[in-house]
Structure 1
Amino acid sequence: MTPPCRTFTSATLESEIQTDDTGRKRKLDRGQKDIDLSQCVLMGMLQYECKIDEPEKRNSPVLCWPVQRWFRRCQDKKGSFMVETTDWEKRSQSDEATA
């Protein structure tokens, strides 16, 4: 069984990653005050969401479509940690487009 994961909105993501799972402020190298999420390594994963068109029929077609998910790998003194940033990436792109 996987350990429990904290969840929060993309609007609070940048402030939430400043603390670890216990709620303590993350310790950083080189005198950094906060983690800059945009500087963390961007990683992607493509998954598929599928649906059986007519589940009651034996040979019903299965419809699938891609779902792109984004993650950032960040670093603190304890090592690296990952956070899903799919919604945050979309928000950042729309903010840049309107600027």
Structure 2
Amino acid sequence: MAPPCRVFPASQLESEIQVDSGCARKGGPVDLAACELFSLLQYECQIDRPEIAESPVRCWPVQRWFRRCRDKKGAFMVETTAWEASHKNG
């Protein structure tokens, strides 16, 4: 079973990625805005009336954003969806 994920607000993401397994990342601070940006499109679906066998299923796209950063240990991925939204205008 995977270890539990820590939950924190998007405003703390830049400081949270500076730590790896409780220790400062090797190679100095990571500039999140300079990391390579990737996107992933997923879908959230809902059955209109689940009690009816032929009920329509409706789906909506959900765009998610990730950054691939590097430290001395190599590359690591960070989901930045909420952070990207809060940093759109600088």
Shared fold (TM-score greater than 0.5)? yes
Match of 2:9 in 1: 9
TM-score norm. by structure 2 comes to: 0.92
Between the aligned partners of 2:70 and 2:8, the Cα distance in structure 1 is 20
Runs of 4+ in 1 over 4 A off after TM superposition: none
- The Cα offsets for residues 65-86 of structure 1, whole Å up to 9 and x where unpaired, read as 0000000010011111111000
Report the alpha carbon displacement of residue 4 of structure 1 after superposing the two structures with TM: 3.4
- When structure 1 is superposed on structure 2, of 3-12 and 63-72 the one drifting more is 3-12
Match of 2:59 among 38, 52, 64: 64
Partner SS for 1:89: helix
Partner SS for 1:46: strand
Match of 1:23 in 2: 22
- Aligned residue identity for 2:79: E
Unaligned 5+ segments in structure 1 are none
Unaligned 5+ segments in structure 2 are none
Q: Alignment identity in percent? A: 61
Match of 1:44 in 2: 39
Between the aligned partners of 2:70 and 2:4, the Cα distance in structure 1 is 20
Match of 2:69 among 68, 71, 74: 74
TM-score norm. by structure 1 comes to: 0.85
Pick the structure with more helix per residue: 1
Between the aligned partners of 2:68 and 2:22, the Cα distance in structure 1 is 19
- The Cα offsets for residues 39-94 of structure 1, whole Å up to 9 and x where unpaired, read as 0010110000000000001100000000000000100111111110000000001x
Partner SS for 2:23: coil
Between the aligned partners of 1:8 and 1:89, the Cα distance in structure 2 is 15
The number of equivalent residue pairs is 90
Match of 2:85 among 77, 82, 90: 90
Between the aligned partners of 1:10 and 1:23, the Cα distance in structure 2 is 19
